[in-house]
Amino acid sequence: MEIFGGEIVPPFECPKRMDIILDRIKTVELGPIEPPIEYGMEPVEKIHDKAYLTFLETCWSEWEKEDFNGEAVANCWPTRTMNAPHIPRHIEGKIGYYALASETTITKGTWEAALASKNVALTATDKVMQGERAVFALCRPPGHHAAADQFGGYCFLNNAAIAAQYARDNGAKKVAILDVDFHHGNGTQHIFYDRDDVFFLSLHGDPMDTFPYFLGHTDETGDKAGIGYTANYPMPPKSDYKIWKQSLTDALDKIKAYSPDLLLVSLGVDTFEDDPISFFKLKSHNFTDYGALIADLELPTVFIMEGGYAVEKVGINTVNVLNGFEKAC
Ligand code: FKS
Ligand code: ZN
């Protein structure tokens, strides 16, 4: 379930999205489709906090032991007036400690799904490290809102961050993460904020106007060694492709100048004009256009699925990016 506008609604982020994207990939014969390989916990533990992982793994069984009837959901947080040095013992406190928002619940199968999703991202990354020009990781659940020890915004494990670190540990000296999902990738930004070996760039709805609200402003440019290696492009409601493309062009120039060994694209297609929870105005053919612009970087590229909720068009829009990319290669 999801809490939206004070109501309990069926989640926008649903399995059907994946079926539709996969169908579209098959229809256009984009390329061979392969299942993920198991990578174990080592690459995950390099990004996420150990106690957080234990929490994700055990949350649902702890919740079930209480007299609760619904899914595990946060309703109480350590806020700006609390330092929160102690992690509560009770699951209701613990879930509040680790949650960044209340729309996302944990239930039976959440942990297994998150594990499968990071395996998809790692399998794709490995293929590109081994010489493929580009691979698309059809990940669900998404990852870019998840921080080292926080879940929310439908994300539990940060697939792109796990993939970037894995690439760093397996020969890539510099990695760029281009986040084109409508929402700011707060988790990815936070994970790499003080590092210069992973350059994070995000195009998104202005956080003054939309989720995740508290991160993603232009003045967030990195910390310590990472100063200059975070770039944010917040854009106002109703921004169309003309505006969006200007941000993309600037981001692509920065990536080119950085000259990474690998590009990861956090690919969300919720920038689409008919997306039910977003406010940009991209049209389906714009996705093809920007796929080609990304290809012009001539970098080994991993596309990692994030959001996109106009379910009938999520397949067309996602595959348009990939097709635009491929045709320009
Ligand atoms: C709605 C408030 C909460 C949550 C939106 C989450 C967006 C998730 C996403 C991801 F890629 F992670 F899936 N909305 N009024 O699209 O960024
Ligand atoms: Zn999104």
What tens-digit pLDDT sequence spans the chain (329 residues)?
999 999 999 999 999 999 999 999 999 999 999 999 999 999 999 999 999 999 999 999 999 999 999 999 999 999 999 999 999 999 999 999 999 999 999 999 999 999 999 999 999 999 999 999 999 999 999 999 999 999 999 999 999 999 999 999 999 999 999 999 999 999 999 999 999 999 999 999 999 999 999 999 999 999 999 999 999 999 999 999 999 999 999 999 999 999 999 999 999 999 999 999 999 999 999 999 999 999 999 999 999 999 999 999 999 999 999 999 999 99
The position carrying tokens 């929310």 is 152
- Exposed (0-12), middle (13-18) or buried (19+): which is 18, by Cβ within 10 Å? middle
CB-based contacts of 248: which residues, under 8 Å, 6+ apart?
180, 203, 290, 293
Residues serving a catalytic function are: 145
pLDDT for the residue numbered 244? 99
Cβ–Cβ under 8 Å, residues 116 and 61: no
211 CB less than 6 Å from ligand 1?
A: yes
The position carrying tokens 């770039």 is 231
What are the structure tokens assigned to 123, written together? 């399998």
Cβ–Cβ under 8 Å, residues 225 and 237: no
- CB atoms near residue 225 (< 10 Å): 11
pLDDT for the residue numbered 109? 98
DSSP 224-258: GGGTTSEEEEEE-TT--HHHHHHHHHHHHHHHHHH
pLDDT tens track for 206-234 = 999 999 999 999 999 999 999 999 999 99
Distance 90 CA to ligand 2 centre (A): 31
Distance 260 CA to ligand 1 centre (A): 28
157 CB less than 6 Å from ligand 1?
A: no
pLDDT tens track for 100-134 = 999 999 999 999 999 999 999 999 999 999 999 99
